[in-house]
Structure 1
Amino acid sequence: MALTTDFADIKPPAGTSEAKTDYARYRIVPARHPGRTAGTIFAAFVLAAVLYSTFTNPRWGWGVFAEWFFAEPVLVGLGRTLLLTALAAVSGSVLGTALALARVSKSPLLSSLSWGYIWLLRSIPMIVLLLVLNNLGYLYETISVGVPFTDKILFNYPTTQLLTPFAAAFLGLTLNQSAFFAEIVRGGILSVDQGQLEAAAALGLPRWRQAFRIVLPQAMRSILPTGFNEIIGLAKSTSMVYVLALPELFYTVQVIYRRNLEVIPLLMVATVWYLVIMTVLSVIQHYIERYFSKGAVRNPTPLPFQAFFQRFRRPLPVAVVAPDSARLATFRSAAGLRAKGGAVRIHGISKSFGTLKVLDNIELSLPAGSVTAIIGPSGSGKSTLLRAINHLERVDSGFISVDGELVGYTQKGEVLYELKEKDILKRRTDIGMVFQSFNLFPHLTVLENLIEAPIQVRGVSREEAVAFAQELLARVDLSDKIDAYPRQLSGGQQQRVAIARALALRPKVLLFDEPTSALDPELVGEVLDVIKELARTGTTLVIVTHEIGFAREVADTVVFMEGGHVIEAGAPAQILNDARHPRTREFLAKVL
């Protein structure tokens, strides 16, 4: 519509209407790219010239090449090359992964030892390492294993007989490969978002499970390209074991061309076999990368034979759910969702990051089954307080208890003993947490996100965990997304899955860290509706939020924080309508 039609006294000029043009019958001429065409012609010319020169020059000796390509000595050498590559790749990758985990461990001695190993092995040239190992018998005539500080010998063997050329080659390739692979794995681990570690810790997953189920599968997307480069380099590095007179592929070819003087044809035999090895490894890399990309793309391409293996997948039990109109309403009536809330007591806690004090002598008492909303400006310490409740942040002083049990400590008489990490993880199962940025595990489906912690932490059977997960998803109206990956969901759907995941452990206390701040305005309502229903289940809820209207409607207590202090706390009507502290009134005047 023309702008002038909005004004009564202005009429559009005559003849301004345009006839409707039908472009469907027009012929479309694609854009031309002469530079691209010229480049293609040049590349084709170069390729044709190289192929013509290679296959028409008799000095390449293709007849000799054909004679020796499948010759028995060459195939035996090829087999030895493949065996060395496979053994060193597996052992080097396993040892490298262990070294990477040691490098990122919290033990200074273990981390330093791993760093020293990597520094030393990356510094020594491969050929030098192989020669040192082959001559190890000069330094140590025998290799003995015994009981320390006694004369008892369990194993004693001559070094030269134990460390054969093949064993020296295998050991040298493994040691060299592990040093480089360790840094590749460490880089992959560091690339995983810190929120994934926090989410796994908040669910109480053991450290080994966090590493092998959550962190490493996500790190694989960063590890694989560089890791396979190392494996391809390893396959070519096997040619260096010729210094040990070990008849692998390259050494075998050398022996043959020294006898018949057909150097180029025999080198081409080795070259083509290396090309075959690299091609096979590249194809394997492609499909492994596709496997570990699940959850990273919205529409993943099915893997070969995926449909075949799906036939053997255990079918999910049929869940009986309420009609759509009653799903959210039945949250409070579902026996499995009702919980005995835990009383939270916060005793004078303080926390500093360097010189910045983010929590200063916080005192709060939250009754069992209560709903507490924490409000305040950004940087006031709200999220840090929430993270301190489930011990994701260790406080500098003070204590927090849930149902009389201290978080992070055990009490014996008048002595407090700090809990080990595994015991802290067990305590966290009673304190669920929903993060601001969801922190769902992207490589796991919605169902796998929900059942991981109940099975691994609570010891629930898979059938029971799946049944409860189906019930939870029905309550948050996401039953049809049970096999979807987080990336295939909207922000509101991801946050509802995060709530269901926290509820799957049946916690006494549920913490919400600004659950709607990362959502579009139109998605906020669907998440708040779920939290409103949760408020009626008996679980103690602690919610950091900027939704003042929501806090007024749902909360029993509103806490206003600023500068690491609790400025004011009380009933919603008193805090939001008749705040006593001037700073509280000033803040509310800006946000209401």
Structure 2
Amino acid sequence: MTFASDVAGLPGHAHRPDSARDFSRARIVPARYPARNIGTVFAGLVIAVILHSVLTNPRWGWAVFAEWFFAEPVLTGLGRTLLLTLLSMVFGFLLAALLAFARISGSPLLAGLSWGYVWLFRSVPLIVLLLILNNLGYLYPTLSIGVPFTGIGFGSWQTTQLITPFLAAVLGLTLHTAAFSAEIVRGGLLSVDQGQLEAAAALGLPWRRQLTRIVLPQAMRSILPAAFNQVTEITKYTSVVYILALPDLFYTVQVIYRRNLEVIPLLMVATVWYLVILTILSFVQRHIERYYARGALREPPPSLIALALKRIRRASDEAGRASATDAVAAPVPRSSLFAAGGEIRISGVSKSFGALKVLDDVSLTLRPGSVTAIIGQSGSGKSTLLRAINHLERVDQGFIAIDGELIGYRQDGDALHELKEKDILKRRVDVGMVFQTFNLFPHLTAIENVIEAPMTVRGVPRAQALAEARELLARVGLAAKADAYPRQLSGGQQQRVAIARALALKPKVLLFDEPTSALDPELVGEVLHVIKELARSGTTLVIVTHEIGFAREVADHVVLMEEGRVIEQGPPHRMLTEPDHPRTREFLAKVL
């Protein structure tokens, strides 16, 4: 019996919609939540009771509160509290940043020193620390600056004259704040994905630029909530300095109510001023968090900081365009967007991770302007070899050279000396890389991702960098997405931005680490189309891929790897149809 006969056998009314199921004229009634209404009424009642109790009870002494709220002694104490908060916050977080970087540094002794500081000053109560600093003259009558253990000195001061109560308060609050804030900063730094650091290094960005432009803006999303909580604590901790007889806000209020015995009204003066300070801090925190949330949300809330910077940047760009030469303002010719391809020479490269040998005596020579596809099963060493070409992975043996220039080393006679990171970054500029997971900088728009490296590394003027970036985005089909953040783009669009970003440095060699593996099947085609266009640009391309059909169509050289070794290599028409090695035939039989 067929489906059609089944339908035909149904009664006639089965084909007509039941009037009870006709929803076209139905009225939508929102769901009701009685518990929410009860909660709202209860909250309103609690607020009304509190306000009535506070405002109608004469013992709160609101007349006395009004008399002293703007009194000169109170405002003077308030100013000293704000100054203590500001100084201890600035110096505390600067010291905290140094401690955090020391903690994650490669020096065990420096990391241990940082840990010891945090352990000590988190353990000592603040009030004890303040008293020790205020009586430091008992332990050290004089303080000197000089070269340790040499007797060479530059100056000496009496401790009791140098360490005033105010300075003791600033030092105590700073040391206390730094101990807690160091862990906040360290946690934020560790929250940044490792791929972001690799992407920045692959672009050749100097480490200072990596820190200020890439790492810290992303780390701030994790740092800010806890950091502002710490600032709030600092503001309240300033009240502890009363033990030093320092006339801050709380100490001043104490002096006044001991004279007039109006304890509650004067305490309310201090309380309300603390509320005002923390309300302002909360407002500032909200807008700073919104600013650093750019790129993290598809619809980021407006930020006063972002709006102000956007206006400044727009004025700067307009001034740059007005002063730019006609050559820069004119359409960028295709020939100026791409550099001539470089020769890649890989000689006897080996790499191990512990007992696992990932690369085993790999040797290859890839001619300038060639397109090489590296294929093989997972774990065969393809991606490690790709990362070794731009020295993101240090090899154990062998060397890699681009146009005869070593990557990561300098030759001194028969020895190869590894370069320092700043020198590696300079040489890495000629080797662009497109990562499997894109690794776009999420807090930068598409065009900001593209112009960052040319401006920082190549020293390209902003107007020229913008013109070339817009041309590159247009060539990968994303001219309309220049001001979109990565989170607002599809996977295929993000990969195309990553390609434009790598091309912006005009590298001799461009590496692709499985550029389509993280994409949905329907997005693969748009990325492969861009790579096909690049294959005609003259740049040397090296592509790790599982797309055998793509390798056949685009590549002019195919390399098969197995267990860290090159099994076979040659032109695609031979490698993919009549391979010589039996392992190649076995591999192709499984994937084709």
Q: In the alignment, what sits opposite 1:15?
A: 13
Q: In the alignment, what sits opposite 1:253?
A: 253
SS in 1 for 2:196: helix
1:17 is aligned with what amino acid? H
Residues 488/69 of structure 1: CA separation in 2 closer, same or farther (3 Å cut): same
What displacement does 1:180 show? Answer: 1.2
2:457 is aligned with what amino acid? V
Conserved? CA contact 1:319–1:471, under 8 Å: no
What displacement does 1:411 show? Answer: 0.5
In the alignment, the residues of structure 1 paired with residue 70 and residue 543 of structure 2 have an alpha-carbon distance, to the nearest angstrom, of 71
Conserved? CA contact 1:5–1:11, under 8 Å: no
What TM-score results when the alignment is normalised by the length of structure 2? 0.93
Which segments of 5 or more consecutive residues in structure 2 lack a partner in the other structure? 322-327
Q: In the alignment, what sits opposite 1:128?
A: 128
Residues 74/521 of structure 1: CA separation in 2 closer, same or farther (3 Å cut): same
Which segments of 5 or more consecutive residues in structure 1 lack a partner in the other structure? 323-332
Kindly provide the CA deviation profile for residues 32-51 of structure 1, in whole angstroms up to 9, marking residues without a partner as x. 21222222222222222222
What displacement does 1:195 show? Answer: 0.4
In the alignment, the residues of structure 1 paired with residue 8 and residue 357 of structure 2 have an alpha-carbon distance, to the nearest angstrom, of 65
Conserved? CA contact 2:317–2:463, under 8 Å: no
Conserved? CA contact 1:4–1:12, under 8 Å: no
In the alignment, the residues of structure 1 paired with residue 574 and residue 27 of structure 2 have an alpha-carbon distance, to the nearest angstrom, of 72
In the alignment, the residues of structure 1 paired with residue 49 and residue 153 of structure 2 have an alpha-carbon distance, to the nearest angstrom, of 68
Kindly provide the CA deviation profile for residues 99-152 of structure 1, in whole angstroms up to 9, marking residues without a partner as x. 212222223333222222222221211111111111111122222223556665
Conserved? CA contact 2:338–2:503, under 8 Å: no
Conserved? CA contact 1:368–1:540, under 8 Å: yes
Aligned residue pair count: 580
Residues 311/578 of structure 1: CA separation in 2 closer, same or farther (3 Å cut): closer
In the alignment, the residues of structure 1 paired with residue 556 and residue 479 of structure 2 have an alpha-carbon distance, to the nearest angstrom, of 31
**1:385 maps onto 2:366 in alignment:** no
Kindly provide the CA deviation profile for residues 506-555 of structure 1, in whole angstroms up to 9, marking residues without a partner as x. 11111000111111212111111111121122211100011111100111
Conserved? CA contact 1:206–1:425, under 8 Å: yes
Conserved? CA contact 2:400–2:407, under 8 Å: yes
Q: In the alignment, what sits opposite 2:283?
A: 283
Mapping 1:99-498, distance limit 5 Å: 99-147=99-147, 153-304=153-304, 306=308, 309=312, 312-315=315-318, 317=321, 320-321=330-331, 334-498=334-498
SS in 2 for 1:312: helix
In the alignment, the residues of structure 1 paired with residue 533 and residue 411 of structure 2 have an alpha-carbon distance, to the nearest angstrom, of 36
In the alignment, the residues of structure 2 paired with residue 440 and residue 563 of structure 1 have an alpha-carbon distance, to the nearest angstrom, of 31
Q: In the alignment, what sits opposite 1:59?
A: 59
SS in 2 for 1:16: helix
In the alignment, the residues of structure 1 paired with residue 6 and residue 510 of structure 2 have an alpha-carbon distance, to the nearest angstrom, of 59
In the alignment, the residues of structure 2 paired with residue 32 and residue 498 of structure 1 have an alpha-carbon distance, to the nearest angstrom, of 48
2:539 is aligned with what amino acid? T
SS in 2 for 1:350: strand
What displacement does 1:571 show? Answer: 1.2
What displacement does 1:309 show? Answer: 4.5
1:314 is aligned with what amino acid? D
Residues 111/283 of structure 1: CA separation in 2 closer, same or farther (3 Å cut): same
Q: In the alignment, what sits opposite 2:324?
A: none
Conserved? CA contact 2:288–2:303, under 8 Å: no
What displacement does 1:420 show? Answer: 0.7
2:464 is aligned with what amino acid? E
Residues 338/58 of structure 1: CA separation in 2 closer, same or farther (3 Å cut): closer
SS in 1 for 2:315: coil
Residues 12/576 of structure 1: CA separation in 2 closer, same or farther (3 Å cut): farther
Q: In the alignment, what sits opposite 1:513?
A: 513
Kindly provide the CA deviation profile for residues 18-70 of structure 1, in whole angstroms up to 9, marking residues without a partner as x. 33766454333222212222222222222222222222222222222222212
1:79 is aligned with what amino acid? G
**1:72 maps onto 2:75 in alignment:** no
SS in 1 for 2:335: coil
Kindly provide the CA deviation profile for residues 146-193 of structure 1, in whole angstroms up to 9, marking residues without a partner as x. 355666543222221211111111111111111211111110111111
In the alignment, the residues of structure 1 paired with residue 521 and residue 99 of structure 2 have an alpha-carbon distance, to the nearest angstrom, of 46
In the alignment, the residues of structure 2 paired with residue 577 and residue 7 of structure 1 have an alpha-carbon distance, to the nearest angstrom, of 51
In the alignment, the residues of structure 1 paired with residue 118 and residue 71 of structure 2 have an alpha-carbon distance, to the nearest angstrom, of 40
What TM-score results when the alignment is normalised by the length of structure 1? 0.93
Q: In the alignment, what sits opposite 2:37?
A: 37
**1:550 maps onto 2:550 in alignment:** yes
What displacement does 1:319 show? Answer: 5.6
In the alignment, the residues of structure 1 paired with residue 161 and residue 551 of structure 2 have an alpha-carbon distance, to the nearest angstrom, of 77
In the alignment, the residues of structure 1 paired with residue 261 and residue 342 of structure 2 have an alpha-carbon distance, to the nearest angstrom, of 85
What displacement does 1:481 show? Answer: 1.9
What displacement does 1:4 show? Answer: 6.9
Greater mean deviation of Cα atoms: 489-498 or 283-292: 489-498
